[in-house]
């Protein structure tokens, strides 16, 4: 079963982000500067800073590399154990860099004044202190992140409770209009409605993208029975669909918005285009709909509820890496969903 939004969060996820690596390197430079300023005037400060910076950066990068290579084996490990593994990686990296420095520089003028054994002990002590401070900061950050996820889940439940009546009222009105004149279409509508409500009542969870697209198609079929030729929806999707997991009912509300605010207010209806593109590290879903002509009766509400729901679900599942953005371009309303692959 696909992971829930909480399970999708992993303490090691931020370590692969460019901004995290840059922050670690800048912190290393600041630490090297502090160590340099603490030295006596007899030491060549520029040379000492260069050596300290070189050593700290290599220790940091080696630690990150170890954690990155081990990330798949740590997916089901508790955050506390991951923190212990990170500290062990930092100490191992410190010893490895020290050993390499001794092998390369042991007979040059760059030999530490106190000798290699004392230098290794000092560097290990420094790495241990920095690692312990980082663990305290990590523990506080992770607790705050978990609290934020729980708050977001409560918000998702509230949004979902508001969406369910909207599903029901619109679809039952359409079914009531079809039941006598087109009973076969009314039966298909009720079956599609059952699938949508089964997904809605299951609560916030992650499902395969193919399943979410299938739910969106069922919703489009329901609205197609209501609007007939006025609604023209075009699906531009790869076959097969990517295996990415998405929050349940995260794409469907965006299709619903496109119909309610693009097709419904326009006397002549409108076109909706749904396109999915896959890049190296990003999956994007583009939903475009015609804007109603000037003077058309506007829908009762703007692109709000469905957009807020989808954005909240996707951000909760991806830990803030995914998003939903909207814009108006060339007379069309465009909704762009981005998800990390």
Residues 100 and 229 occupy one common structural domain: no
Closest by alpha carbon to 223, among 186, 172, 286, 171? 171
Residue 40 · residue 28 · CB < 8 Å: no
- Residues 99, 161 within the same domain: no
233-249 mean pLDDT: 88
The answer on 225 and 166 residing in a single domain is yes
Close Cβ partners of 133 (under 8 Å, ≥ 6 residues apart): none
Residues 166 and 98 in one domain: no
For residue 144, being part of any structural domain is answered with: no
Q: What are phi and psi of 242, to 5 degrees?
A: -60, 155
Half-sphere exposure of 199 (CA within 13 A, CB side): 26
Which of 84-88, 220-224, 271-275 ranks highest by mean pLDDT? 271-275
Domain boundary residue, one of 80, 113, 146: 113
The CA dihedral of 161, 166, 169, 175, to the nearest 10 degrees, is -120
Last residue of a domain, one of 113, 137, 165: 113
Total number of domains in the chain: 2
- The predicted pLDDT at position 102 comes to 75
Closest CA to 149 of 323, 330, 313, 339: 313
CB-based burial of residue 55 (10 Å sphere; 0-12 exposed, 13-18 middle, 19+ buried)?
buried
Rounded CA gap, 83 and 264, in Å?
53
Q: Is residue 197 part of a domain?
A: yes
What's the pLDDT tens digit per position in 17-29?
A: 677 778 778 887 8
Write out the residue range of the structural domain in which residue 68 sits: 5-113
Q: What does the CA dihedral 335, 215, 245, 328 come to, rounded to 10 degrees?
A: 0
Q: Which residue has the higher pLDDT, 213 or 115?
A: 213
Please give the Cα distance from 300 to 308 (Å, whole number): 17
Residue 151: the pLDDT is 65
pLDDT higher than 60, residue 5: no
Residues 106 and 174 both lie in one domain:
no
Contact 8, 320 (CB under 8 A): no
Q: Which of 48, 81, 113 is the last residue of a domain?
A: 113
Average confidence (pLDDT) over 73-88: 77
Beta strands 231-236 and 270-278: pairing type? parallel
| 335 pLDDT higher than 90 | yes
309 & 162 share domain: yes
> In angstroms, rounded to a whole number, what is the distance separating the alpha carbons of residues 298 and 1?
41
Helical packing angle, 209-227 and 183-201, nearest 10°: 140
Structural contact between residues 68 and 85, judged by C-beta atoms closer than 8 angstroms: no
Q: How confident is the model at residue 114 (pLDDT cuts 50, 70, 90)?
A: low
One domain for residues 106 and 13: yes
Interatomic CA distance for residues 279 and 340, integer angstroms:
9
Q: Could you report the per-residue pLDDT of 87-110, keeping only the tens digit for each?
A: 888 888 888 887 887 777 666 655
In terms of domains, do 163 and 253 share one? yes
pLDDT of residue 266 exceeding 80: yes
Is residue 49 included in any domain, yes or no?
yes
Is 261 part of a structural domain of the chain?
yes
Residues 85 and 176 in one domain: no
- Are 163 and 134 spatial neighbours (Cβ–Cβ below 8 Å)? no
Residues 102, 166, single domain; the answer is no
CATH number of the domain to which 309 belongs = 3.30.565.10
Three-state DSSP class for 275?
strand
Give strand pairing partners of 276.
Answer: 285
Confidence (pLDDT) at 250 = 84
pLDDT tens digit string along 277-288?
A: 988 788 999 999
pLDDT confidence of residue 302: 47
The pLDDT tens digits of the residues spanning 155-203 come to 655 555 555 566 577 777 777 877 777 888 888 888 887 877 777 666 6
Q: Which residue has the higher pLDDT, 210 or 9?
A: 210
Residue 257 lies in a domain: yes
For residue 132, being part of any structural domain is answered with no
What does the mean pLDDT of the chain come to?
A: 77
**Does residue 182 sit in the same domain as residue 316?**
yes
What is the model's pLDDT at position 1? 37
Residues 49, 30: Cα–Cα separation, whole Å = 10
Residues 72 and 166 reside in one and the same domain: no
d(CA 323, CA 308): 11
* Count of CB atoms situated within 10 Å of the CB of 256: 22
Q: DSSP letters of 54-101?
A: HHHHHHHHHHHHHHHHTGGGGTTS-HHHHHHHHHHHHHHHHHHHHHHH
In-domain check, residue 229: yes
Residue 141 domain-assigned?
no
Indicate the pLDDT class of residue 148, thresholds 50, 70 and 90.
Answer: low
């Amino acid at each position: 079963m696909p992971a829930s939004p909480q399970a999708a969060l992993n303490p090691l996820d931020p370590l692969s982000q460019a901004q995290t690596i840059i922050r670690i390197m800048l912190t290393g430079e600041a630490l090297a500067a502090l160590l340099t300023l603490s030295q006596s005037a007899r030491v060549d400060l520029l040379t000492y800073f260069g050596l300290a910076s070189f050593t700290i950066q290599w220790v940091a990068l080696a630690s990150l590399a170890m954690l990155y290579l081990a990330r798949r084996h740590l997916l089901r490990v508790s955050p506390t154990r991951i923190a212990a593994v990170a500290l062990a990686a930092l100490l191992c990296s410190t010893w490895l860099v020290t050993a390499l420095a001794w092998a390369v520089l042991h007979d040059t003028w760059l030999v530490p004044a106190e000798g290699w054994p004392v230098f290794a002990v000092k560097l290990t002590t420094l790495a241990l202190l920095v690692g312990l401070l980082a663990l305290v900061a990590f523990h506080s950050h992770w607790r705050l992140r978990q609290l934020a996820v729980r708050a977001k889940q409560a918000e998702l439940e509230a949004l979902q409770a508001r969406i369910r009546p909207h599903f029901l009222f619109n679809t039952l009105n359409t079914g009531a209009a079809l039941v006598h004149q087109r009973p076969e279409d009314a039966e298909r509508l009720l079956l599609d409605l059952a699938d949508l409500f089964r997904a809605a009542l299951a609560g916030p969870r992650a499902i395969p993208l193919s399943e979410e697209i299938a739910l969106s198609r069922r919703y489009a079929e329901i609205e197609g029975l209501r609007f007939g030729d006025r609604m023209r929806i075009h699906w531009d999707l790869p076959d097969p669909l990517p295996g990415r997991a998405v929050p349940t009912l995260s794409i469907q509300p965006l299709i619903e918005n496109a119909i309610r605010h693009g097709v419904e207010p326009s006397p002549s209806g409108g076109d909706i285009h749904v396109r999915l593109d896959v890049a190296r590290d990003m999956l994007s879903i583009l939903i475009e709909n015609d804007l109603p002509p000037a003077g058309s009766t506007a829908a009762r509400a703007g692109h709000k509820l469905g957009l807020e729901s989808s954005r909240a679900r996707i951000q909760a599942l991806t830990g803030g890496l995914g998003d939903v953005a909207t814009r108006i371009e060339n007379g069309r309303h465009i909704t762009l969903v981005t998800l990390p692959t």
